[in-house]
Chain A
């Protein structure tokens, strides 16, 4: 198999991740639940992972890194914990449903006002429109760091400037970028960064979380077991417990810490991202010139703002048909359809056709990319 669906999950994991999870499964108790040797070992694993995420994302306090099952849960928790009745949120058409649907719920249930900044023909965020929408009284600006459809990156430091100038907070969805695009919460002025562990961070599925700046108050979304203050009626407000009700996935976090260590060993997110971007660029340069193929995203106008995704369609073919042909004919794994990002597809005019997404990862090779280019060429030739 040629695995080019790394934007969905990095299926090939470093061996260190596999080993860490296997070791954890046979040895860890429940973190924060008692002081048995296994429970303390689990607590140590979780703490090491917390510290690794904080260092990777530039979060000044490790105890403000809170773990969840995935980015969707973290985004729900953050949005619900930050935005009150009648408040205003500005977001973008680049967002995944993990942002759009919680915001729709807040609109329905709390009367929250939601405004959406658009994009240009390449799917690049319209920063001028975004700035116009962020008016005084805006509570939160919620933006993706990288589109999961096109791979287009967003200048989140600039977004933070705009948000803070209006007195708003900024929430960044780093699902597609954590681990392969540098992020520094402190330097960029980001208030909350939500991440998943199983994509660029190369950890197991079932891991993710949020890193929260020191002075940002995210109220608990889920309440329950905390391992502390059992006789208090409501969930404790201390960090990170306030956003971590219930048993943590210590096995997964052992793997996530190993994934982050692998990234650091290989030069950190900038180096890992540069390798993946170079592969994607090779893919774009091969696919982009094929007659009958339309490539989406900013590759033609600003390749430096592209991640490691090449999204395209073949004239006259449904994206699912192309994906199936790539799989059955060449053993290429990719993703077709709407990618849970309806507003992005609406903006690109691909609501019916969807798009074919090829996404590169650390373990791909130039030879695999060349096979994919040849396959697309053959499919487009009919």
Chain B
């Protein structure tokens, strides 16, 4: 939730999703955004002291 707060405050796109099984087995939350936003995202999270457990590029379906 700190990640969401950080990104929304800075106007960075993305949203919270259930953590995909390819990233971690079990349950939890992940921040979903476009791969090209990676650099800006990392800088923002570092600046706000939000810890990052993992960052993975995967293909996800968008239905609507």
Taking the closest CB of chain B, its distance from the CB of A284, in whole angstroms, is 45
How extensive is the interface on chain B, given as a class?
Answer: 10 to 19
Kindly list chain A residues whose C-beta atoms are within 8 Å of the C-beta of B1: 40, 43-44, 46-47
Chain B minimum-CB-distance residue to A236: B28
Kindly list chain B residues whose C-beta atoms are within 8 Å of the C-beta of A43: 1, 16, 29
Contact between chains at B27 and A228 (CB < 8 Å): yes
Taking the closest CB of chain A, its distance from the CB of B40, in whole angstroms, is 22
In order of increasing CB-CB distance, the 3 nearest A-B pairs are: A230-B26, A228-B28, A47-B1
Kindly list chain B residues whose C-beta atoms are within 8 Å of the C-beta of A40: 1, 4, 16
Q: Mark B6-17, 1 if CB is under 8 A from A, else 0.
A: 000000000011
Contact between chains at B2 and A230 (CB < 8 Å): no
Contact between chains at A35 and B2 (CB < 8 Å): no
**A35-B26 contact in complex given A43-B1, A46-B1, A47-B2, C-beta closer than 8 Å:** no
Instruction: List the interface of chain A (C-beta within 8 A of B).
Output: 32-35, 40, 43-44, 46-47, 62-63, 227-232
Contact partner of B27 (CB less than 8 A), chosen from A33, A44, A46, A62, is: A33
Q: Determine whether B36 belongs to the interface, using a CB cutoff of 8 Å to chain A.
A: no
Give the distance in Å from the alpha carbon of A46 to the alpha carbon of B25 in the complex. 25
Contact between chains at B29 and A229 (CB < 8 Å): no
Q: Determine whether B62 belongs to the interface, using a CB cutoff of 8 Å to chain A.
A: no
**A227-B28 contact in complex given A34-B18, A40-B16, C-beta closer than 8 Å:** yes
Having A44-B4, A47-B1, A230-B27, one finds 14 other A-B pairs with CB under 8 Å, namely A32-B29, A33-B27, A35-B16, A40-B16, A43-B1, A43-B16, A44-B1, A227-B28, A228-B24, A228-B26, A228-B29, A229-B24, A231-B26, A232-B26
Contact between chains at A34 and B2 (CB < 8 Å): no
Kindly list chain B residues whose C-beta atoms are within 8 Å of the C-beta of A35: 16-18, 29
Can you list 25 residue pairs at the A/B interface with Cβ under 8 Å?
Answer: A33-B27, A34-B18, A34-B27, A35-B16, A35-B29, A40-B1, A40-B4, A40-B16, A43-B1, A43-B29, A44-B4, A46-B1, A47-B1, A47-B5, A227-B28, A228-B26, A228-B27, A228-B28, A229-B24, A229-B26, A229-B28, A230-B25, A230-B26, A230-B27, A231-B25
Contact between chains at A63 and B2 (CB < 8 Å): yes
Chain A minimum-CB-distance residue to B17: A35
Of A32, A33, A34, A35, chain B has the most CB atoms within 10 Å of the CB of A35
Kindly list chain B residues whose C-beta atoms are within 8 Å of the C-beta of A227: 27-29
Kindly list chain A residues whose C-beta atoms are within 8 Å of the C-beta of B4: 40, 44
Of B24, B25, B29, chain A has the most CB atoms within 10 Å of the CB of B29
Give the distance in Å from the alpha carbon of A43 to the alpha carbon of B2 in the complex. 10
Kindly list chain A residues whose C-beta atoms are within 8 Å of the C-beta of B5: 44, 47
Kindly list chain B residues whose C-beta atoms are within 8 Å of the C-beta of A33: 27
Give the distance in Å from the alpha carbon of A40 to the alpha carbon of B16 in the complex. 8
